[in-house]
Structures are given as structure tokens and as C-alpha cells.
């Protein structure tokens, strides 16, 4: 009787111990916006796009000094891209990391980038 | 009867454990190609691949990467594909040196090489779909 009770307690304790060994709590401010594409600008976070529920959206930039091109597609398939030339763009491109938030705007000609903002904040981390 | 009860309890505890252990969600568009090496149109060759796709490929052969030397603004790039084909180039071109500074853990790289082993261009791409 006692042995059975011990086994029961041990099994329960093991179960509870395993339950409490789950992944560390991921607290802290989190903000990983998915990709939004508008008529003349697009924005989104790398992590928000990569780990979204759909398999469509992305945002990113290509660098071939001094040429920069950026592109984005939202979850509905709406796309926007632009290209820019000039060494000053390199500084922004070099600050893109795995968890950046990217915002690029497109000039009236529809093909030239008019601005590129790269934000690296803790809340954008996965 | 008691043994049955214990088994039931143990299974319940195990089930609870599995349910409460969070599993990462790997949704979203993912595209991380491994290394490809091919001839180009100027008598040389090119290599391209993503760092993530290469590093976490099924084989232990392929790799891709570049090194820079600040004292001479020299860049050297290396790549090997799954089949063992190898590419190497070097350059002291300032634009190539500058481009390589933008590499991160999750970049994709494209390296163009001429027939003499000089890097003629390097492209670095950062995109959300390249994240692991």
C-alpha cells in the first residue's frame, strides 16, 4: 500500500517537475510588425515577416556598393520595390540585422528610393 | 486497479508536460538556398548562397563567406558547394570591400569571379525570408 502510494507521489512529482521545465518566459516589450505595403512606402520587421502565419510576405534590401535596392511584399501579395545609388545609402544598409525594422519610401518616379530607415530596437527581437 | 490508476496518472502527467512545452512556430516565407557554383558569361564563374541555408544544410561540405583586411582594403571570398566544387577570388576594389561590410549571419551572397580569380562583384542581400 505504502509502495503504491510512493510510486504515485513520485510519478506526480516527476510530471510536475517536467511541466515546470518549459522554455524560459519571454517577457519584455515585443513589437514585430508584419509587412505593410502602401502606394509609396513599405515597412515591416524582419522577424515579423519571417515568422508570420502566411508564406508570402517578406522585406529586405540588396547591396552592391554603391547600389541599393529594397523590396517588400505583404501577406496579400502587394509589392513595392525601389533602387538607389550613392555611398550614403551604404551606411543604412550596413545597419540591417536579422531583427531590424525597415521602412523605405519610393519617389514619385516609382522606382527610386527616397529614404531608407533601419530601426534596431530590442522589441523587434524574436 | 491501482496499477491502472497509476498508469493513467503517469500518462496524464506526460501529456500535460508535452502540451505545456512550447514549440517554436516556424511559419512565414522561408527561402535559404545553399551554395551554387556556376560558370558566368565572362569566362569566370559565380557562387551564391545564403549563410543560413549553407550552415544548416544536410551535408558537412558546403560553405560560403568573405574576409576583409582593413589595412589594404582587400577582400577574399570563398565558396564550396555540396559536390565539392570550389570558388575563390580576391580583390582590392573599394566598392567590393564596402559591400562585404554589410554581411550578417543571415545574408545571402553572390560572388562573381573573372578568369584570373579576381572578384568582379559581390552582392549582399538581407531579407526576412533568409532568417532561420
In a domain, B86, yes or no: yes
Give one word for A115, left, alpha or beta, with left for phi > 0 and alpha for psi -120 to 50.
beta
> A116: Cβ–Cβ under 8 A, 6 or more apart, which residues?
A61, A68, A70, A84, A89, A92, A93, A102, A103, A104, A105
3-state DSSP assignment of residue A120: coil
Q: Is A36 helix (H, G, I), strand (E, B) or coil?
A: strand
User: B83 in a domain, yes or no?
Assistant: yes
- For residue A55, the chain B residues in CB contact (below 8 A) are 27-30
Alpha-helical regions (H) of B1-132: 2-20, 51-55, 94-100
Quick: pLDDT tens for A20-76.
455 556 689 999 999 999 999 999 999 999 999 999 999 999 999 999 999 999 999
Residue B7 lies in a domain: no
Q: Is residue B66 part of a domain?
A: yes
Q: pLDDT of A62-87, one tens digit each?
A: 999 999 999 999 999 999 999 999 87
What is residue A11's predicted lDDT score, i.e. its pLDDT? 56
- Evaluate whether residue B4 is within a structural domain: no
Q: Where are the domains of chain A?
A: 36-124
Compute the mean pLDDT over every residue in chain B, rounded to the nearest whole number: 86
Q: Is residue B96 part of a domain?
A: yes
- Note the ipTM here: 0.77
Residue B55 CB: number of other CB atoms within 10 A? Answer: 17
How close, in Å, is residue A64 to chain B by CA atoms? 5
Helix (H), strand (E) at residue A42: strand A41-45
**Domains: count for chain B:** 1
How far apart CA B63 and CA A55 sit, in angstroms, is 27
Cα B40 to the chain's mean position, in Å?
Answer: 22
Interface A-B, measured as beta-carbon pairs within 8 A, has a size of 129
Query: Distance (Å, rounded) from C-alpha B50 to C-alpha B125?
Result: 9
Name A110's Cβ contacts closer than 8 Å, sequence gap at least 6: none
> For chain B, which residues lie within 8 Å of any Cβ of chain A, measuring from their own Cβ?
2, 5-6, 9-10, 12-14, 16-17, 20-22, 25-30, 95-96, 98-99, 101-102, 104-106, 121-131
What's residue A96's pLDDT? 96
Inter-residue contact B108 to B127 (CB < 8 Å): yes
Distance of CA B111 to the CA centre of its chain: 14
pTM: 0.78
Pairing assessment for the beta strands B119-127 and B108-113 based on DSSP bridges? antiparallel
Task: Write out the residue range of the structural domain in which residue B36 sits.
Answer: 30-130
The CATH number of A36-124 is: 2.40.50
Does residue B114 lie within any of the structural domains? Answer: yes
Amino acid at each position: 500500500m505504502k509502495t503504491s502510494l510512493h510510486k504515485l507521489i513520485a510519478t506526480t512529482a516527476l510530471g510536475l517537475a517536467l511541466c515546470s521545465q518549459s522554455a524560459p518566459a519571454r517577457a519584455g516589450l515585443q513589437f514585430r510588425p508584419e509587412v505593410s505595403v502602401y502606394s509609396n512606402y513599405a515597412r515591416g520587421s524582419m522577424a515579423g515577416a519571417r515568422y508570420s502565419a502566411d508564406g508570402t510576405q517578406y522585406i529586405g534590401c540588396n547591396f552592391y556598393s554603391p547600389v541599393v535596392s529594397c523590396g517588400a511584399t505583404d501577406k496579400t501579395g502587394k509589392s513595392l520595390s525601389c533602387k538607389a545609388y550613392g555611398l550614403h545609402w551604404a551606411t543604412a544598409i550596413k545597419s540591417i540585422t536579422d531583427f531590424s525594422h525597415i521602412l523605405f519610401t519610393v519617389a514619385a518616379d516609382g522606382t527610386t528610393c527616397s529614404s531608407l530607415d533601419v530601426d534596431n530596437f530590442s522589441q523587434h527581437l524574436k | 486497479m491501482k496499477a491502472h490508476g497509476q498508469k493513467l496518472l503517469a500518462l496524464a502527467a506526460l501529456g500535460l508536460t508535452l502540451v505545456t512545452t512550447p514549440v517554436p512556430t516556424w511559419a512565414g516565407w522561408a527561402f535559404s538556398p545553399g551554395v551554387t557554383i556556376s560558370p558566368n558569361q565572362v569566362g569566370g564563374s559565380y557562387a551564391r548562397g545564403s549563410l543560413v541555408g549553407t550552415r544548416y544544410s544536410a551535408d558537412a561540405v558546403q560553405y560560403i563567406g568573405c574576409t576583409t583586411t582593413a589595412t589594404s582594403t582587400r577582400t577574399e571570398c570563398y565558396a564550396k558547394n555540396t559536390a565539392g566544387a570550389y570558388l575563390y577570388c580576391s580583390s582590392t576594389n573599394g566598392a567590393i570591400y564596402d559591400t562585404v561590410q554589410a554581411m550578417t549571419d543571415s545574408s545571402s551572397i553572390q560572388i562573381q569571379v573573372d578568369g584570373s580569380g579576381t572578384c568582379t562583384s559581390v552582392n549582399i542581400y538581407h531579407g526576412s525570408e533568409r532568417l532561420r
